[in-house]
């Protein structure tokens, strides 16, 4: 989740502002004490937090700040994740993690971009944001260590499912090049490729059979790993109290353990939403307009948002229409988009957005979506 940065620093406070430009081998630190003070730039080895603290202490002395003065820092969210944020906070530094897509850039076709320039610009924006300027950037909501670790289960399952589909499609394409057709059920037999025949009713070439055999071994391994992850999710569901977020979600007809796990792992609870606008910012699916002068066009929906949540919410929306036919959301969808295949596809996105808000209210406050049916024991 991303949220606007709020002012927490007075222009009269003694503060050292530090911006990190993170690299694999080196980190660049741009530091200043406020407006009108030329930023200084230092370089440390990547991950050397002790060197960072020495640089910060030296910068305090250079700009004339007390040794115990407050330090406010920031860096862009990326490959390094949130461990740096936690390490800086443990050392008493007020750090912010910034959504890199929200940082303003010049719109020239070619612009100079270096780590040095990025760090200097970032520290200037940090000062602007801290003294109260609105809309400078968006700040990332940092999950707890437990919440961040929990995401690996559902994300790994998604990756494995995609890998499973890719391998199955590869085998299908190899069969197609030989003019061979084998049903899905037929591929369940052991070493089915040895009995397959091509367009001329001849066995598949030995090299093709060997490649299918190796791919089938990888496919079996992926299937076993998916089954293990699903078993872990099912065990977590059985152990979850009925009043917990997971326990509530799986009580709704049309929502299973896998989709509920994705919703919770991606932050339906731990992001601590305050209103529907924040929910919409995470999910995306917002209408995109182009209006300039006399021109006015509807560009569809924005592509911003959490891709995993978008995928699972569209699936849940279709399932909701099927399993929750008497609910208010389904009635609204059928009345407005029920006619025409294209209209239904467009409307399912709007339903997914509304359903996301309804599920958040359900897990947060226990408000069952109007007309929704719970599963029978």
Same domain, 253 and 353: yes
| 3-class state of residue 334 by DSSP | helix
Q: Which one of 239, 256, 286 terminates a domain?
A: 239
pLDDT band at 7 (very low <50, low <70, confident <90, very high): very low
Tell me the CATH number at 98.
3.30.420
Contacts of residue 253, defined as CB under 8 A and 6 or more positions apart, other chains included, come to 323, 324, 372, 373, 374, 375
pLDDT at 305: 86
Question: Residue 375 domain-assigned?
Answer: no
Over 50: is that where the pLDDT of 3 sits?
Answer: no
Same domain, 136 and 15: yes
Smallest Cα–Cα separation from 148: which of 304, 299, 267?
A: 267
Alpha helices in 42-194 (DSSP H): 49-63, 83-90, 115-130, 145-177
Question: Residue 285 domain-assigned?
Answer: yes
- Please give the Cα distance from 313 to 358 (Å, whole number): 12
pLDDT band at 359 (very low <50, low <70, confident <90, very high): very high
Contacts of residue 213, defined as CB under 8 A and 6 or more positions apart, other chains included, come to 191, 193
Number of domains in the chain: 3
Contact in structure between 59 and 14 (CB atoms under 8 Å) = no
Structure tokens at 278: 């924040």
Question: Residue 114 domain-assigned?
Answer: yes
Its pTM stands at 0.84
Q: For residue range 12-61, what is the model confidence (pLDDT) as tens digits? A: 578 999 999 999 999 999 999 988 889 999 999 999 999 999 999 999 99
Asked which of 2-11, 133-142, 270-279 is least confident by mean pLDDT, the reply is: 2-11
Higher pLDDT, 109 or 208: 208
Contact in structure between 14 and 72 (CB atoms under 8 Å) = no
Same domain, 205 and 123: no
What domain range includes position 57?
Answer: 2-140
pLDDT band at 9 (very low <50, low <70, confident <90, very high): low
**DSSP category for residue 187:** G
Same domain, 136 and 150: no
Q: For residue range 293-351, what is the model confidence (pLDDT) as tens digits? A: 878 887 777 778 899 999 999 999 999 999 999 999 999 999 999 888 889 998 999 99
Question: Residue 39 domain-assigned?
Answer: yes
- Other C-beta atoms closer than 10 Å to the C-beta of 375 total 11
Over 70: is that where the pLDDT of 202 sits?
Answer: yes
Q: Which one of 120, 140, 160 terminates a domain?
A: 140
- Other C-beta atoms closer than 10 Å to the C-beta of 173 total 9
- Please give the Cα distance from 103 to 100 (Å, whole number): 6
Structure tokens at 62: 């250079």
- Identify the H or E element spanning 71: strand 70-76
Across the strands, what pairs with 297? 290
Same domain, 176 and 82: no
**DSSP category for residue 33:** S
Q: Which one of 178, 205, 239 terminates a domain?
A: 239
Burial group, residue 115, by CB count within 10 angstroms (0-12, 13-18, 19+): middle
Contact in structure between 153 and 62 (CB atoms under 8 Å) = no
Smallest Cα–Cα separation from 230: which of 258, 192, 195?
A: 258
């Amino acid at each position: 989740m991303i949220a606007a940065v709020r002012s927490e620093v007075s222009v009269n406070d003694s503060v050292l502002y530090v911006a990190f430009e993170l690299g694999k081998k080196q980190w660049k630190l741009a530091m200043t004490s406020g407006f009108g003070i030329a930023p200084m730039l230092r370089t440390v080895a990547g991950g050397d937090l002790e060197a960072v603290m020495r640089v910060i202490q030296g910068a305090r002395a250079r700009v004339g700040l007390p040794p115990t003065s407050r330090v406010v820092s920031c860096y862009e969210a990326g490959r390094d994740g949130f461990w740096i944020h936690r390490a800086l906070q443990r050392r008493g530094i007020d750090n912010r993690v910034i959504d890199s897509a929200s940082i303003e850039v010049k719109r020239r076709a070619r612009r100079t971009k270096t780590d040095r320039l990025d760090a200097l610009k970032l520290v200037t924006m940090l000062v602007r944001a801290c003294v109260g300027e609105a809309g400078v950037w968006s700040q990332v909501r940092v999950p707890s260590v437990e919440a961040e670790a929990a995401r690996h289960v559902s994300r790994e399952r998604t990756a494995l499912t995609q890998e499973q589909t890719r391998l199955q499609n590869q085998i299908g394409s190899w069969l197609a090049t030989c003019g061979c057709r084998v049903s899905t059920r037929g591929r369940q037999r052991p070493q089915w490729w040895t009995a397959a025949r091509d367009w001329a009713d001849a066995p598949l070439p030995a090299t093709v059979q060997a490649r299918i055999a190796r791919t089938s071994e990888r496919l079996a391994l992926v299937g076993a790993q998916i089954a293990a992850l699903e078993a872990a999710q099912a065990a977590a569901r059985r152990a979850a109290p009925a009043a917990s977020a997971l326990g509530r979600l799986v009580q709704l007809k049309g929502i299973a353990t896998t989709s509920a796990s994705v919703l919770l792992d991606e932050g339906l609870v731990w992001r601590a939403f305050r209103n529907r606008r924040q929910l919409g910012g995470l999910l995306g699916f917002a209408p995109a307009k182009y209006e300039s002068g006399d021109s006015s066009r509807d560009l569809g929906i924005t592509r911003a948002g959490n891709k995993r949540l978008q995928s699972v919410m569209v699936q849940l929306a279709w399932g909701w229409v099927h399993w929750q036919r008497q609910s208010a959301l389904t009635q609204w969808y059928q009345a407005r988009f029920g006619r025409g295949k294209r209209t239904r596809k467009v409307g399912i996105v709007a339903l997914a957005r509304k359903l996301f808000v309804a599920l958040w209210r359900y897990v947060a406050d226990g408000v069952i979506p109007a007309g929704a049916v719970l599963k029978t024991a």
